[in-house]
Amino acid sequence: MVDIPSLEGLSDYDVTWPWTSGEALAPGLTCVFRVRNEARNLPWVLPPILSAVQHVLVVDNGSDDGTPEVAQRVAEQCGASDRFTLLHYPHAVARAGSEHLATPATSVHSLTHFYNWCFSHVRTTYSMKWDGDMVLTPEGASILRDLSWQLQPTRTVVAMPRHPLTVVDESTGWLDLSLRFLEPWVYPMGPDTTFVKAFDWELREQPASAERLVLQQGLVVEVKWLDADEYAHWRRDGVDFTNTRLYRKLREFEVDEAIRTGRAEQLGGLVRVDAPAGEHVIDYVTRTWLRQQPRPLVTHSLPAALRERRPR
C-alpha cells in the first residue's frame, strides 16, 4: 500500500512508510543526508556522524563532483560500510521560496515529497536530518552517541544551534556568532512526524505531546567556502530582502559580502580564527577553538543589520 503516490506516477518514487508496510523499526538513530555536490565537505562531515549514530543514509540529488563515491569511500575508511546506505534521487527539486510554493506537494520536484521519500527509507525509531556541510565537534558526536539510546523510551524532538564558518583558506576562517541558528534536527519516527508543505519550504510536523530538548552551543559548524561563491547569482541577478522572512539567508549574504570586501570586522558578530601551521581551520575550530571559548558563544538575539530590515 502506498502512502503518498508521486504526482507524476513514478512508482519508484512513491512514499511508503515502514509502519504501513508492517516493517518494525529497530532502536537507534539514523542520520539522513540529502546532498548535491558536497564531495569537498564529506571527509569532514561524515566521520563524526558515523561515529555517533546507528545508521547513515545518503541520498544524492544529481551531484557531478563525485559526491556518491566520496561518501562511499569515507564510510569504508571509517569501517562503517555495513551501517551506510547510498540512494539516488534524480529529479530536480524546487528551491525554497517561490519555486517551492508553486510546486505541488506530491510532485517528485517538491521539497516536501523529496524529504518524505528520503525518510521513508529509515528503519530506526529516531531519524536525524543533516546537511552535507555541517561538521560535528567531538563533543557534539559524543552527545549524539548518548542521545541515540537515551531517547529511545521517549518521544523527543532535539534542536541544536549551528555556527556558520566561512573558510577563506586552509588556515583562516570567519565564524558567525551573531545568531544561534537554532533548528530541530532529531525526531522520533512515526505517522505524526512526517513532512508537510509550508510557505517557503518543507516542514516536519511535531506532535503536541512531544518533548523538546535544546542542545548547547558549540557542537556543530556549517562550512561555507569563500572560493565557492555560492551567492554569485544573488549579486548577478539581484535579490530583494526588504520583506523577507529569511533572516538567516540575509545574514549569510551580508557575511559573504563583508568578507569579500574587507569589512568583516565592521559587520559585527564575526570572529576571525587563524589555525596553527599545518592544521586546517575546520579541524582547528571543531576540535580545539570552540571548546576553549567561554559560554555562551552567541550573545546577540538579532544583529542590527537584520533589525533594520524587520518586515512591517
Span 189-224, pLDDT tens digits: 999 999 999 988 899 999 889 999 999 999 999 999
221 in any annotated domain:
no
288 in any annotated domain:
no
287 in any annotated domain:
no
Percentage of residues in the chain with pLDDT exceeding 70? 91
- pLDDT per residue as tens digits for the range 252-294: 888 999 999 999 999 989 999 999 999 999 999 999 999 999 9
Structural domains in the chain (count):
1
Percentage of residues in the chain with pLDDT exceeding 90? 82
Domain that holds residue 196: 11-154+183-215
> Which of 14-23, 145-154, 160-169, 236-245 is the least confident region?
236-245
308 pLDDT higher than 70:
no
179 pLDDT higher than 80:
yes
pLDDT confidence bin for 152, thresholds 50/70/90: very high
pLDDT confidence bin for 307, thresholds 50/70/90: low
Write down the pLDDT at residue 310: 46
Q: Can you tell me the mean pLDDT for 146-161?
A: 97
CATH number of the CATH domain containing 33: 3.90.550
How would you write the chain as a 3-class SS string?
CCCECCCCCCHHHCECCHHHHCCCCEEEEEEEEEECCCCCCHHHHHHHHHCCCCEEEEEECCCCCCHHHHHHHHHHHCCCHHHEEEEECCCCCCCCCHHHHHCCCCCCCCHHHHHHHHHCCCCEEEEEEECCCEEECHHHHHHHHHHHHHCCCCCEEEEEECEEEEEEECCEEEEECCCCCEEEEEEECCCCCCEEECCCCEEECCCCCCEEEECCCCCEEEEEEHHHCCCHHHHHHCCCCCCCCCHHHHHHHHHHHHHHCCCHHHHCCEEEEECCCCCCHHHHHHHHHHHHCCCCCCCCCCCHHHHCCCCC
43 in any annotated domain:
yes
312 pLDDT higher than 60:
no
Write down the pLDDT at residue 212: 96
Write down the pLDDT at residue 98: 84
233 pLDDT higher than 90:
no
192 in any annotated domain:
yes
86 in any annotated domain:
yes
119 in any annotated domain:
yes
Average pLDDT, the chain: 93
175 in any annotated domain:
no
